[in-house]
Structure 1
Amino acid sequence: MTTTTYQVNGKDIFVAEAGEGPTVLLLHGGGPGASGVSNYSRNIDELAKHFRVVVPDLPGYGRSTKGIDQNDPFGYLADSIRGLLDRLDIERAHLVGNSYGGACALRLALDTPERVDRMVLMGPGGIGTTRGLPTPGLQNLLSYYGGSGPSRDKLATFIREYLVFDGSAVPEEMVDTRYESSIDPDVVADPPLRRPSGPHALRTLWRMDFTRDKRLSTLQTPTLVVWGARDKVNKPSGGRMLVETMPHCELVVTSETGHWVQWERADLFNEITRRFLGA
C-alpha cells in the first residue's frame, strides 16, 4: 500500500492506494475518529486483488484538511472527491461508501453521473433524515463533542453499542486509535459532522435528505445497497426505499449486523462487492 497527500481545491486529501485494475474509491463513515484505512481495514487487501483501490480520508477526517462547508456538507464532500478524481486523472470510477461516505457517493453520482460507473452503499446517510426523529445511534454520534466533550468512554459506547451488532468483537486498539484521532484540536474546534444550526439549518437538512431529491428516481447508476438488519444509526428501511426509487438498485440485508457491514461481515461484503463491480 502506498500513501500520498494530494492538493485538491487548495485543501489536502490524504490517500492510500493498493492494487491494479478498474478504480474503486472506498469512502468512509463519519463517526468520531474515522479514517479511510481504519474503516476498510478488512476490505482493502482483498479488493486490491482485483481493482485499483483508492482510500481517501474525507475532508475533516484523518490526515486530510479539517473543516467542511456546513451549509451543504454532502455537496462539499462530493466536490472534493470529484476534484480528487480529476487530480488522479480518473474519468470514471466505482464508488463504495459507508454511511457518511455513502451520502458522499450518492451526491457525487446525482450531480455528475458520468463520473460514476457503479456504486455500493452500506447504510448510507441522507436517506429519510428529515422524516421522523433521529435514531439512537445518530443522536449518540452527534452528541459526541457536546456536553462534557469527547472522551474514550463515550467513543467506546458509540462503537460497541451503536456501530456494530457484537460490541465484544471490537478490539481495544481500535477504540484507542479512533479516540486519539477524535481529539485532534482542529476537529474538536470544528467537528465535520454535527447538527445543522443557524438561519439556514432547515435548508441544509433538506439538502442532506436524498428522499427529497427528484433526481434519485432517474439515476441510472447500477447500485448495490447493503444494510445491516440491526443498524442503530441509519434505519434499515432506507434500503427498501432506495430499491423502490432507483431504477437499477439491488438490496442485500444481513442479519445480526449493525451499521458497519464491511467490518462485521467482511467475507460476505468483499465477495458480493467484487462480483457486483465486475471482477
Structure 2
Amino acid sequence: MSIWIDFLGAEIRYVDTPSFGRVRIAEAGKGKPEALFLMHGIGGHIEAYSKNVVPLGEHFHVIAFDFVGHGLSEKKTDIEYPASIYADQLKELMDALGIEKAHISGESLGGLVTGLFAVKYPERCLRLILNTAGGIPIMTDKGRQDLVNLATLTEKNYGKPPSFESIRERMQWLIYEGNWDLLTDELIESRLAIYSRPDFQKSAPLVFARLNQAKAGGGQSMPDAMELEKIEQEALLLWTTHNPIHDVPAAEAALPRLKKGKLYVMRKDCGHWPQYESPEEFDAVVVKYLTTGEV
C-alpha cells in the first residue's frame, strides 16, 4: 500500500515555532480529548509513522512531526544538534498547537527525546512510550557493532549525492530482514528525495555528528543519555526481539531504573521500526497502554 494511501484522513501541514522555524506535521483525530505526539529516529521523518497516524487518530489527537534538521522541517545550520534541542522543539510545537499536556511516544532518537522531555517538562506529560529507544546503556558487543554499522551506513548519504542503493542499505538496517519486503521502492525513494535536497545535505553533518562521535568511540555509547531515575511518569519500554544496538537485555537492564516502568516485547519478529513492521500490534499496545496503563 502507498504511504499516501496510509495517510488518507490525516492532515499534512506546517506549523511555525519561535526557535525552530517551520515544522512539518501529520495530524489526525483533532477534537479528541487527549493528544499523542509521535517522534521518529535520527535521520528519519514522519513517513516512519505513515501506518499509525490515522488509526491512532481514532483514539487520540495524534501529531507526528519532523525534527528540526530532518524531513521537510526547517534545516538550521547555526545550531548544534544535541538531543535536548528536540525536546525544546516539542515544547514549542505543543505551545504553538495550544496543547498543554500529551502522551509522548518516540522511536530510537525519538525515545531518547521522550525521556529528556519528561525530565525537563514533566508538567506537559501524560504517559510515555519509549519505543526501541536510544539513550540507555548498550549491553552487548553486537549492540556496539550495530552502532558502528549505522554510522558507517549513514555516512554514505551526505557529503555526496545519496543513491537508491545507499538509502536502501541504511533502511535495511532499520527493519528485521524477515520484513524487508516492506521496503517498497516508494518508501526508499521518499527518503532519497529528502536526503538529496540541498538543505538536508547542509544540515546532515550537524544532525549526524553524534553518530560520528559514537563511531569514533568504538560504539561504546551515544553522547546523550536518559536519566531514567528522574522520570516520574508511567513509561512503557516497547521493544522488539531483533532491535539493533539496544537489544532486549538492554531494555531489561533499563526497566528497574524507571519508577513506574513496564516492558512489552513485540510478539512479531521486528527490528528497529515496530510501528511500521507490525502496525496492528503496535497500535493495539499503544492504545491499551495509554488508555489503561496496562499491556
Is the TM value for this pair above 0.5? yes
After superposition, give the CA deviation of every residue in 1:100-143 in whole Å (9 maximum; x if it has no partner).
Answer: 11111111111111111011121112222699735255234442
Runs of 4+ displaced beyond 4 Å: 68-72, 129-132, 146-149
Tell me the alpha carbon deviations over residues 150-188 of structure 1, each in whole angstroms, 9 at most, x when there is no partner. Answer: 221111112124433421232111111111111111111
Matched, 1:122 2:131: yes
Match of 2:209 in 1: 195
More helix by share: 2
- Report the identity percentage: 25
| Shift in alpha-carbon separation, 1:183–1:233, aligned structure 2, 3 A | farther
Partner of 2:27: 17
Letter matched to residue 56 of structure 2: L
- Note if contact 2:52-2:283 (Cα within 8 Å) is conserved in structure 1: yes
Instruction: Show structure 1 runs of 5+ residues with no match.
Output: none
Equivalence map 1:41-80=2 (5 Å): 41-67=50-76, 71=80, 73-80=82-89
Instruction: Confirm or deny that 1:231 pairs with 2:247.
Output: no
Q: 1:129 to 1:232 in 2, by over 3 A?
A: closer
Task: Give the aligned partner of residue 196 of structure 2.
Answer: 183
Amino acid corresponding to residue 6 of structure 1 in structure 2: V
CA contact (8 A) 2:36 2:61 kept: yes
Show the counterpart of 1:157.
169
Is the Cα–Cα contact under 8 Å of residues 23 and 66 in structure 2 kept in the other structure? yes
Partner SS state of residue 15, structure 2: strand
The amino acid across from 2:22 in the alignment is D
Of 252, 277, 281, 1:240 maps to 252
Change (3 A) 1:2 1:234: same
Return the alpha-carbon distance in structure 1 between the equivalents of residues 174 and 124 of structure 2. 33
CA contact (8 A) 2:17 2:96 kept: yes
Q: Which amino acid aligns with 2:89?
A: S
Question: Over the residues paired in the alignment, what is the CA RMSD in angstroms?
Answer: 2.6
User: Which residue in 1 is equivalent to 2:224?
Assistant: 208
The verdict on how the C-alpha distance between 1:183 and 1:237 changes in structure 2, with shifts beyond 3 A counting, is: farther
What TM-score does the superposition give when structure 1 sets the normalisation length?
0.86
